[in-house]
Amino acid sequence: MSGDITPDKILDAITDYLSAALAENIITLHVSGNPQSDSLLNQKPIADTLRAFAMAHPLFKEYGIVVEVPTSSRSWCDFIIRSLDGRLWLPINLKVSSCDGRDDLSSKDGLFFALTGLDPEVMAIRSWEAYCKALASNIRHNDCAADYYYLVVRKNRTGDGNVEVFWTSLLNLCHVHPNGNRPPFQCRWAENRERAIRTRSEAIAYLLGTLEVTLIRRANALTSFSNHLSPLLRKWEAGVTIRRHRTGGADVASLDDSTKPKVPKRRPVKRNPAEIEVRTRKGDGTIHDRRRHPSQSSRRIG
């Protein structure tokens, strides 16, 4: 670590400044109602303000600490606080939230870095198989200060007109919830204003235990599909014949007659060719059509 500067000191200074800047309208929040969109909209103005703050702050200048924004829009963090000597490196995810409901913590790359200290982009992990294998091989319980940080900004002002801002990190979250739709987790920021007191090993076990439940829930959808839809799909596939068509050079699969749904045919109505259509008016004044034979008496409809 650079001298006696710590992540806590840096993040406390940034949090205090950002709260004051928002209260004084130096920064104006863009609020759309969608947590993910709100974080994206506010990422650049907040990062630019923090970059200027770091350039002017004596503590940051003394230790050569800068704020950088990743150039890629697909980066796994919103900005990075690092020291020029390379010994301090803090990836930060910005969350602009109402802090009332659950928000997605959908960066599995951030989790990988927090547990291993390795840059997931360098590892080039793409599949869950590769992810779990690399994680199992590189988890560090000791001699590792890596973490993934969250800077949380509450959308709505407090009663005194201030804007609540606080920071936490993956290893310091008190409560996380499984999220099968968008792994690895969800959390309620209202439950995580205070940072948990756990050892690194305890925090790792807690996060991996929640990730396990997340992936079980993700697999449950496949189990339901296998139980109910797979047998039907296999039955259909057993009757599929391949017919080649010259439409883009692709094969077009079609079901043979034994597997196509049976649609009942309508029996044709036999009519006497001599019948003619006659329009009649009901007692309520509406008109309807009926058929009659020419030998039947007729009445003009006026």
Contacts with 20 (C-beta within 8 Å, 6 or more apart), sequence order: 26
Contacts with 96 (C-beta within 8 Å, 6 or more apart), sequence order: 29, 31, 35, 38, 39, 41, 42, 153, 155
DSSP annotation string for 159-218: TTS---EEEEEGGG-S--EE-SSSSSEEEEGGG-SSPP---HHHHHHHHHHHHHHHHHHH
Q: What is the pLDDT of residue 11?
A: 96
Q: What is the pLDDT of residue 244?
A: 44
pLDDT tens, position by position, 252-301: 444 444 544 555 566 665 555 544 444 444 455 554 555 554 455 444 44
- Report the percent of the chain where pLDDT is more than 70: 76
* 2: pLDDT strictly greater than 80: no
Q: 33 or 57: whose pLDDT is higher? A: 57
Q: What is the mean pLDDT of residues 35-61?
A: 84
* Per-domain boundaries in the chain: 7-225
Residue type at position 13:
A
C-alpha to C-alpha distance for 219 and 180, rounded to whole angstroms: 8
Q: What is the mean pLDDT of residues 163-189?
A: 93
Give the pair of three-digit tokens for residue 174. 């008190």
Q: Which of 58-67, 141-150, 260-269 has the lowest mean pLDDT?
A: 260-269
Q: What is the mean pLDDT of residues 118-140?
A: 90
35 — pLDDT class (breaks 50, 70, 90): low
The three-class DSSP label of residue 132 is helix
Give the pair of three-digit tokens for residue 142. 């000791």
Residue type at position 103:
D
1 — pLDDT class (breaks 50, 70, 90): very low
The number of angstroms, rounded, from the C-alpha of 149 to the middle of its chain's C-alpha atoms is 18
Q: 194 or 99: whose pLDDT is higher? A: 194
Tell me what the pLDDT averaged over the chain comes to. Answer: 81
Q: Which residues pair with 67 in a beta bridge?
A: 81
Q: What is the pLDDT of residue 139?
A: 96
Local structure of residue 171 (DSSP, 8 states)? G
Q: 107 or 261: whose pLDDT is higher? A: 107
Q: What is the mean pLDDT of residues 57-72?
A: 88
159 — pLDDT class (breaks 50, 70, 90): low
C-alpha to C-alpha distance for 216 and 151, rounded to whole angstroms: 29
Residue type at position 205:
A
CATH no., domain 7-225: 3.40.600
